[in-house]
């Protein structure tokens, strides 16, 4: 099984791909889709959509796990990140219906056993779980890998997290 994890963002959308080999997760690729403020909004959304489509075509994941958006400090930021998430989601929906989502707390709980863990704790546990020499950079890519690991850990219960 191959799982693509996505941490939505407009400037930086993290992605992480893991394979499950002999019931153990193995990192395939982690990175980020980057857009810049000097790009027009539609150009940023198109780049996200195109890059996600390219990831799907290249890596052919079986399941896709999104980190659910969860913040309310700045309405403009929330709208922009929501648009970026929608752009990535449209690319994924054209590829498969096996799309799942997990809250940040569920991801932290699954990866660190503590739902209020900070970013550094999540990064360290991702590194340990995958037996990596270094933490994954950027942070958004590590978060995306954590989403993929959460999906793997959901096992037979994954249907509860199928995106509606």
For range 136-147, the mean pLDDT: 97
Active-site residue, selected from the candidate residues 51, 63, 140, 143: 140
Question: What is the pLDDT, as a whole number, of residue 71?
Answer: 64
Active site (annotated) includes residue 139 = no
* Residue 146: domain span: 2-161
CATH of the domain at 106: 3.30.420.10
Q: Which of 7, 51, 101, 143 is catalytic?
A: 7
Percent of the chain with pLDDT strictly greater than 70: 99
What pLDDT does 10 receive? 96
Q: pLDDT for 117-134, tens place per residue? A: 999 999 999 999 999 999
pLDDT band of 74, cuts 50, 70, 90:
confident
Quickly state the pLDDT bin for 76 (edges 50, 70, 90).
confident
Predicted confidence at residue 75, as pLDDT, reads: 82
pLDDT band at 77 (very low <50, low <70, confident <90, very high): confident
The owner of tokens 């998430």 is 85
Active site residue 43: no
pLDDT surpassing 70 at residue 55 = yes
State the pLDDT at residue 21: 97
Task: Read off the pLDDT of residues 97-114 as tens digits, 9 standing for 90 and up.
Answer: 999 999 999 999 999 999
pLDDT tens figures, 2-30: 999 999 999 999 999 999 999 999 999 99
69: confidence class by pLDDT, cuts 50, 70, 90: confident
User: Which residues is 26 bridged to in the sheet?
Assistant: 19
- Whether 68 is catalytic is no
Domain count of the fold of the chain: 1
């Amino acid at each position: 099984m191959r799982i693509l994890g996505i941490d939505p963002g407009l400037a930086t959308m993290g992605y992480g791909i893991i394979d499950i080999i002999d019931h153990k997760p193995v990192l395939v690729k982690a990175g980020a889709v980057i857009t810049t403020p000097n790009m027009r909004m539609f150009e940023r959304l198109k780049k996200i959509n195109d890059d996600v489509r390219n990831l799907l075509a290249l890596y052919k994941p079986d399941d896709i796990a999104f980190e659910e958006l969860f913040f309310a400090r700045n309405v403009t930021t929330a709208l922009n990140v929501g648009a970026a998430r929608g752009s990535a989601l449209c690319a994924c929906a054209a590829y498969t219906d096996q799309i799942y989502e997990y809250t940040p707390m569920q991801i932290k709980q699954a990866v660190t056993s503590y739902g209020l863990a900070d970013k550094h704790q999540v990064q360290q546990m991702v590194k340990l779980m995958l037996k990596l020499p270094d933490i994954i950079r950027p942070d958004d890519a590590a978060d995306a890998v954590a989403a993929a690991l959460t999906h793997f850990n959901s096992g037979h219960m994954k249907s509860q997290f199928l995106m509606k």
